[in-house]
């Protein structure tokens, strides 16, 4: 057992969508455990209630495994953090219930963490980025942001579906099945690597915002026509959506003159997207940072670490006021731990 008498560990619970995950972080920012249990639906997209049911079934096991990995005892936990939003209601409520129960049982404070902030903070922790322009891309979010005057401001975002969702729907319609360890986005990436021919798709950047639904409809139409190789379609889809993301990120970078570009969220695992962002970062003299793979997808470690930051600034929430916030926007969140540079 580590440092038995010190209660400077935070346990973080992530449950915004299809993953239930528990992370344990030290107050200094060392990640001791990050256990993830993914809910993989039989067919179709996520059913919020079924996912929530999965979360409640695995919660006890995942929490126990996190303690085993971290080699600490529950008595050493000083604070419990949970993803309070944004996300799917039933999933968020399940995680919050587990968090409240543990906090009450251990008699330690509770911290509600914004999921989008957590994706940014874990990226910063892992890459030592200080003040980046962040591209946060996942199944539910597509946000270009940077810190300014006390908050992470949103410079650009999707006007309809998220980029990860766009990739997921396309792969599912193409007949692929998601497996654990091989998300739809990774399947597309593999196919795209063998693509040779670019098939034009609608490119839709409006001001600093992006739209992916028209592009998805067009790609699905081409898919159903059956005239093109699937590899070429995946290649074209990736090139088009990633160019849109890169354009908006580059403009935010040119405007803010930040020293780093940080890529985070599940889609950050994509090598092609990484290389496109790397080139614009280099052109602007910024350092390119990408979240390590184990912290790219939804994970409890990011909630635990953001919980530490919030807790150190007194941002705890009483159990009776710890309601989940389904539509909690990034720029609504105070981040007093971030310093203006
Ligand atoms: P949110 O963060 O919005 O709550 P989420 O639960 O979907 O949503 P993540 O777990 O961060 O978020 O990301 C999942 C997404 O990442 C899926 O859309 C998946 O297809 C995508 N993804 C995973 N690996 C890759 C890859 N190699 N290339 C592209 N996309 C990928
Ligand atoms: Fe996420």
Q: Is 218 helix (H, G, I), strand (E, B) or coil?
A: helix
- Closest residue by CA, ligand 1 atom 4: 140
Ligand 1 binding pocket, CB closer than 6 Å: 16-18, 87, 115, 138-141, 164, 167-168, 183-186, 189, 265-267, 269-270, 297-298
Q: How many CA atoms lie within 13 A of 291 on its CB side?
A: 32
CA of 284 to the centre of ligand 1 (A): 27
Q: Which of 54, 137, 265, 266 has most ligand 1 atoms within 8 Å of CB, for mutation? A: 266
The CATH 3.30.420.40 portion of the chain extends over 9-119+298-332, 129-295
Averaged pLDDT of the chain: 96
Confidence class for position 1, pLDDT limits 50, 70, 90: low
* Each residue's pLDDT tens digit, 18-72: 999 999 999 999 999 999 999 988 776 779 999 999 999 999 999 999 999 999 9
CA–CA separation, 83 vs 164, rounded Å? 20
**pLDDT at position 177, please?**
87
* Statement: residue 339 has pLDDT above 90: no
CA–CA separation, 144 vs 142, rounded Å? 7
CATH code of the domain made up of 129-295: 3.30.420.40
| Cβ within 8 Å of residue 225, ≥6 positions away | none
Token pair of 227, please?
């005239």
| Cβ within 8 Å of residue 143, ≥6 positions away | 116, 134, 135, 136, 137, 154, 156, 157, 330
Averaged over 165-183, what is the pLDDT?
A: 90
Number of H helices, E strands in the chain: 9, 12
Ligand nearest to the CA of 39: 1
Q: Which atom of ligand 1 is nearest to the CA of 17?
A: 6
CA of 116 to the centre of ligand 2 (A): 7
**pLDDT at position 114, please?**
98
* Each residue's pLDDT tens digit, 123-164: 999 999 999 999 999 999 999 999 999 999 999 999 999 999
Q: Out of 2.60.120.200, 3.30.230.10, 3.40.50.300, 3.30.420.40, which CATH number does the structure's domain 9-119+298-332 have?
A: 3.30.420.40
**pLDDT at position 236, please?**
98
The label of the residue with tokens 């953001």 reads: 306
**pLDDT at position 2, please?**
56
Contact 146, 155 (CB under 8 A): yes
Confidence class for position 6, pLDDT limits 50, 70, 90: confident
CA of 219 to the centre of ligand 2 (A): 25
CA of 192 to the centre of ligand 2 (A): 24
Ligand nearest to the CA of 51: 1
* Each residue's pLDDT tens digit, 203-262: 999 999 999 999 999 999 999 999 999 999 999 999 999 999 999 999 999 999 999 999
Averaged over 65-83, what is the pLDDT?
A: 97
Q: Which atom of ligand 1 is nearest to the CA of 141?
A: 3
CA of 77 to the centre of ligand 2 (A): 24
């Amino acid at each position: 057992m580590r440092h038995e008498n010190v209660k400077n560990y935070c346990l973080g619970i992530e449950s915004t969508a299809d993953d239930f995950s528990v992370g344990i972080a030290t107050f200094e920012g060392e990640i001791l455990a990050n256990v993830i249990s993914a809910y993989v639906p039989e067919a179709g997209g996520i059913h919020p209630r079924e996912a929530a049911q999965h979360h409640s079934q695995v919660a006890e096991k995942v929490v126990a495994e996190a303690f085993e990995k971290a080699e600490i005892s529950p008595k050493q936990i000083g604070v419990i953090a949970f993803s309070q939003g944004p996300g799917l209601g039933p999933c968020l409520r399940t995680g919050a219930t587990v968090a409240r129960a543990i906090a009450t049982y251990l008699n330690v404070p509770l911290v509600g963490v914004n999921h989008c902030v957590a994706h940014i903070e874990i990226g910063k922790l892992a890459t030592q980025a200080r003040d980046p322009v962040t591209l946060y891309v996942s199944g539910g979010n597509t946000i270009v942001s940077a810190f300014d005057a006390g908050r992470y401001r949103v410079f650009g975002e999707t006007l309809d579906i998220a980029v990860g969702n766009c990739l997921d729907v396309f792969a599912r319609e193409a007949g692929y099945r998601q497996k654990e360890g091989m998300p739809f986005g990774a399947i597309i990436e593999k196919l795209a690597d063998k693509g040779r021919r670019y098939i034009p798709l609608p490119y839709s950047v409006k001001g600093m915002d992006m739209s992916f639904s028209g592009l998805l409809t067009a790609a699905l139409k081409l898919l159903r026509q059956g005239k093109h190789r699937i590899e070429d379609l995946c290649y074209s889809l990736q090139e088009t959506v990633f160019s849109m993301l890169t354009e908006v990120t580059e403009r935010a970078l040119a405007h803010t003159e930040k020293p780093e570009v940080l890529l985070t969220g599940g889609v950050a695992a994509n090598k092609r997207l990484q290389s496109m962002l790397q080139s614009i970062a280099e052109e602007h003299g910024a350092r390119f940072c990408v979240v390590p793979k184990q912290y790219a997808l939804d994970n409890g470690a990011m909630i635990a670490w953001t919980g530490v930051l919030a807790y150190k600034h007194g941002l705890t929430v009483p159990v009776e006021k710890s309601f989940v916030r389904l539509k909690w926007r990034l720029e609504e969140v105070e981040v007093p731990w971030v310093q203006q540079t």
